[in-house]
Structure 1
Amino acid sequence: MKILVSDDIAQEGIDILNQEYQVDVKTKLSEDELVEIIGSYDALVVRSATKVTAKIMENSNLKVIGRAGVGVDNIDLEAATKKGILVVNAPEGNTTAASEHTIALLMALARNIPEAVRSLKNKVWDRKRFMGIELNGKTLGVVGLGRIGREVAKKAIGLGMNILAYDPYIIKQQVENIDIKVVDLDSVLKEADFITFHVPLTKSTYHMVGEKEFSMMKDGVMLINCARGGIIDEEALYEALKSGKVAGCALDVFEKEPPLESPLLDLPNLIATPHLGASTQEAQVSVAVDVAKDVIRALKGEMVKNPVNMVHIRPEEYSEIRPFVDLAEKMGSFYTQLRNGRISEVEMIYTGKIERMDVKMITTAGIKGILSNILQTPANLVNAPFLARERGIKIIEKKINQEQDAPGVVTMKVTTDKGVGSVTGTVQANADERIVAVDEYKIDLIPRGNILLTFHRDRPGIVGKVGTLLGKNDINIAYMQLGRKSYRGEALMALGVDENLPDDILSEIRKIDGMENAVLIKF
């Protein structure tokens, strides 16, 4: 496999990649140049300079794109997801650097440091003009409580500040040991003396602060943005700074970078730095190393640490979840080899110990297994949910509480235009996968190798006839399972066979008197 590094990253990251794969470093490539060469690579590593567009990905064979940093707005995530390309980033590596830069800008605002330095260098000694304010006892509004937002809050608490925070996605446990008051956005805007932003740039956060939001703020409020340009409406910010509604603002990021034509740079109450939030030697090494390790994991088919467009499982749960992920994929493949019809709904039902875990990856694996047999587009854990939605397939997850020690059981219930069917599986000791039911038939199948399934009338002689036919054709039976609905009623037989069954043998089996259908399932 080959890896292309198209932006400058720390050599330590490149060295890690080189230990496993061939690495080419080619920076400052245009979109057309990337399109021309990308087909030769399995992975792409970028920082923020390379714009990874749908055009670049369209005819590529990329398996993973690694972003050496946090923000991924330079990567077309929708196109990557549809294509089944995993995107990973390095959200932890620059946490310290970005939070320290935020605090540096906060202090610079409070004490007028850049203007005071500029004045003194112009040989003017004017202490009164640069009277500052203390941070101790002031209220800092933190918008976004991810890793960086929480770290900024901790540092500000150390400075004696009170913290008001807004984050609609925060988990209570993430802040229960930090002296933070979580409120709605309006409360932050109305009550904070300083406001700092730590949210990604998305459709919902683009221009989340504009004329209306400025009108809600205290007169003389001060703002810091070390997150992403575009969160603050720069035209509205210009007016708020000119009027004094906003006493000062510190920006490390801009909507257009470099912002050399921005009128904001002409304002004395604006502090600006050229996107330095993650620009420390330590941070650049850390993000390069982190993303390199994840790219290698992805290429080896292992669980990555920081997926952006795929379900993430906590490391402490992964070892227990993984056998069920493998089982669910096989269940999906089993179902679509057994049955056909236009799928409208897939319901994944979880009981026993598995229902207490995060089952999203198991559900995704089940959908992957289903789609892999019915689509020409390759399905994987990245694009399976997208492909299902695109085809109008409704996905439902249901958890049923049972005794704490009950075995974990997964049931896949599939609705098509030809009816409803189901497959049920479990994982036994030593990660031993089993399919234990097909519809209402109770069985015990090992989802491995070749399995001959027959649906027939429960009458003497049918099993023998199938066995005789397989024996005549030198096909060995590894194991056999039988299930039936009622005495001499409908029945199911599963035979694990060591060899493939040609179509002509399957056709002969189907002609046996009392036989309704025979299907070969391959794993």
Structure 2
Amino acid sequence: MNILVDENIPMAEAFFSRFGSVVTFAGRGLSPEALVDTDVLIVRSVTRVNAALLAKATKLRFVGSCTIGSDHLDIEYLESRSINWCTAPGSNADSVVDYVVCSLCAVDDYMARLLGGGRLGIIGYGNVGRRLAERVSGLGIGCVAYDPLIDAQSDPRLVGIDEVLHCDVLCLHAPLTRTGPFPSYHLLSLEQLLRLPKGALLLNAGRGEVVATGVLLELAALRPDIQLVLDVWEGEPVVSAELAARCAIATPHIAGYSLDGKFKGAAMVAEALANVLGVSEEQSWPSEVAAALTAPQVSVQDCGEPWQAAALSAYNPKEDHQRFLASLGADDPGGAFDALRKHYPPRRELSRCEFVFDGAVDKAQLNVLSALQGHR
């Protein structure tokens, strides 16, 4: 069995070699000719899997995406050809939540503002949105969410979009949809975003097309008091350098790029493939994967409150921000965008980290840190 796997899926051999011969490919460079003898295709969100790509893939039986979204898969076409498919919903949700809370720790005093009685709003209440709500609620932060696809009676946090727009921090985690009763494409208008409170923060770690680039540029010009944290962009991998320069934090679609999240995504797809092939799935992850996931010890650098210092010692998104801004001056910024993702340094989820402090830390601070990690 011939298996093609995106080169940015770590330890692909460990996860998929027991099913057949594994060959890797560059996510944006896959051609129809490369799929002529392929039985299984494993992708990430940068590969558009549609009729044009699969025109010569006559042997293809299975398409798996090691990511949470499905907007890059033409599901109707896959099902018309009886090609099994799957995604990995929730696999990197904790990684994205870590990105949010670390960004709030890194930009001005937003986390302290929320802890002092501010409110966080969420648009898109799926795996990421729910876990973010649970994480900040564990910190004692007020949180509301908007998702028209979910019955508002099912969760007390669900409110109308107007209420969400009055929060101190607004986080976008909606999937990209262009059809249906509530499409998310260009969901938020300039008029709506201008309602955000003074000094608010707008963070998008969902899909870039949920807010138009032009709208965000106008917002930055009209409301310079509003801080922007953007991990996703219209037109990726070529993005607006002007918009990136306006951001407190700008990163190249890496919010979900923790090592833990990548491994969870690959494991979910491997399990789905095993089910399709009718073979027994291993009860534990490959030994080399388990070894790579040993809990890291993080030495906490002295920078502010102990819980804040710990979070930023584990992951400081401003380091990604600096690398990303530098890449925008390259001759091929689109290629540089993909290179940053391909060579992204290993990052672990906060919940997996063991923090080492130089001095004593009181119980109240440790409780905040534990909640920040998502421990209950």
| Aligned partner of residue 142 in structure 1, secondary structure | strand
Match of 2:44 among 47, 53, 66: 47
State the Cα deviation string for residues 140-177 of structure 1 (Å, max 9, x = none): 111111111111111111333211111123367974xx
- In the TM superposition, 1:23-422 aligns within 5 A as 23-27=22-26, 30-31=29-30, 34-60=31-57, 61-111=59-109, 133-170=113-150, 175=155, 180-189=156-165, 191-203=166-178, 204-244=183-223, 247-267=226-246, 269-300=247-278
| Aligned partner of residue 257 in structure 1, secondary structure | coil
> Which ranges of structure 1 fall in alignment gaps of 5 or more residues?
114-131, 304-523
CA gap of 1:289–1:36, structure 2 versus 1, over 3 A, is: same
CA gap of 1:174–1:69, structure 2 versus 1, over 3 A, is: farther
CA–CA distance in structure 1, aligned partners of residues 123 and 38 of structure 2? 39
What's the offset of the Cα at 1:49? 3.2
Q: Which runs of 4+ in 1 moved over 6 A?
A: none
> Which ranges of structure 2 fall in alignment gaps of 5 or more residues?
282-376
Structure 1 partner of 2:302: none
CA–CA distance in structure 2, aligned partners of residues 273 and 135 of structure 1? 25
What's the offset of the Cα at 1:188? 1.3
CA–CA distance in structure 1, aligned partners of residues 219 and 188 of structure 2? 11
CA RMSD of aligned residues (A): 2.7
CA contact (8 A) 2:15 2:266 kept: no
What letter corresponds to residue 250 of structure 2 in structure 1?
A
Given the two structures, how large is their TM-score scaled by the length of structure 2? 0.66
CA–CA distance in structure 2, aligned partners of residues 93 and 52 of structure 1? 20
Q: Percent identity?
A: 29
CA–CA distance in structure 1, aligned partners of residues 240 and 203 of structure 2? 20
What's the offset of the Cα at 1:58? 2.8
CA gap of 1:171–1:22, structure 2 versus 1, over 3 A, is: farther
CA–CA distance in structure 1, aligned partners of residues 119 and 27 of structure 2? 43
What letter corresponds to residue 274 of structure 2 in structure 1?
I
CA contact (8 A) 1:7 1:50 kept: no
What letter corresponds to residue 198 of structure 1 in structure 2?
H
**Across the two proteins, how many residue pairs are aligned to each other?**
276
| Aligned partner of residue 210 in structure 2, secondary structure | coil
What's the offset of the Cα at 1:68? 0.9
CA–CA distance in structure 2, aligned partners of residues 82 and 301 of structure 1? 25
| Aligned partner of residue 3 in structure 2, secondary structure | strand
CA–CA distance in structure 2, aligned partners of residues 134 and 166 of structure 1? 19
What letter corresponds to residue 297 of structure 1 in structure 2?
N
CA–CA distance in structure 2, aligned partners of residues 144 and 241 of structure 1? 23
What's the offset of the Cα at 1:299? 3.0
What letter corresponds to residue 233 of structure 1 in structure 2?
A
CA contact (8 A) 1:139 1:192 kept: yes
What's the offset of the Cα at 1:183? 0.8
Rg bigger for which structure? 1
What letter corresponds to residue 160 of structure 1 in structure 2?
G
What's the offset of the Cα at 1:266? 2.4
Structure 2 partner of 1:468: none
| Aligned partner of residue 20 in structure 1, secondary structure | coil
CA contact (8 A) 1:64 1:299 kept: no
Given the two structures, how large is their TM-score scaled by the length of structure 1? 0.49
CA gap of 1:197–1:262, structure 2 versus 1, over 3 A, is: same
| Aligned partner of residue 152 in structure 1, secondary structure | helix
State the Cα deviation string for residues 454-510 of structure 1 (Å, max 9, x = none): xxxxxxxxxxxxxxxxxxxxxxxxxxxxxxxxxxxxxxxxxxxxxxxxxxxxxxxxx
Structure 2 partner of 1:4: 4
| Aligned partner of residue 177 in structure 2, secondary structure | coil
CA–CA distance in structure 1, aligned partners of residues 105 and 62 of structure 2? 40
CA–CA distance in structure 2, aligned partners of residues 192 and 3 of structure 1? 46
What letter corresponds to residue 208 of structure 2 in structure 1?
G
Structure 2 partner of 1:431: none
CA gap of 1:110–1:159, structure 2 versus 1, over 3 A, is: farther
What's the offset of the Cα at 1:36? 1.1
What's the offset of the Cα at 1:75? 2.4
What's the offset of the Cα at 1:213? 1.6
CA–CA distance in structure 2, aligned partners of residues 224 and 29 of structure 1? 26
What letter corresponds to residue 60 of structure 2 in structure 1?
L
CA gap of 1:166–1:28, structure 2 versus 1, over 3 A, is: closer
CA contact (8 A) 1:218 1:245 kept: no
CA gap of 1:173–1:240, structure 2 versus 1, over 3 A, is: closer
CA–CA distance in structure 1, aligned partners of residues 191 and 142 of structure 2? 25
CA gap of 1:266–1:89, structure 2 versus 1, over 3 A, is: same
What letter corresponds to residue 273 of structure 2 in structure 1?
V
What's the offset of the Cα at 1:246? 5.5
What's the offset of the Cα at 1:81? 3.0
CA–CA distance in structure 2, aligned partners of residues 7 and 26 of structure 1? 5
CA–CA distance in structure 2, aligned partners of residues 278 and 40 of structure 1? 32
What letter corresponds to residue 4 of structure 2 in structure 1?
L
Q: Which has the higher strand share?
A: 1
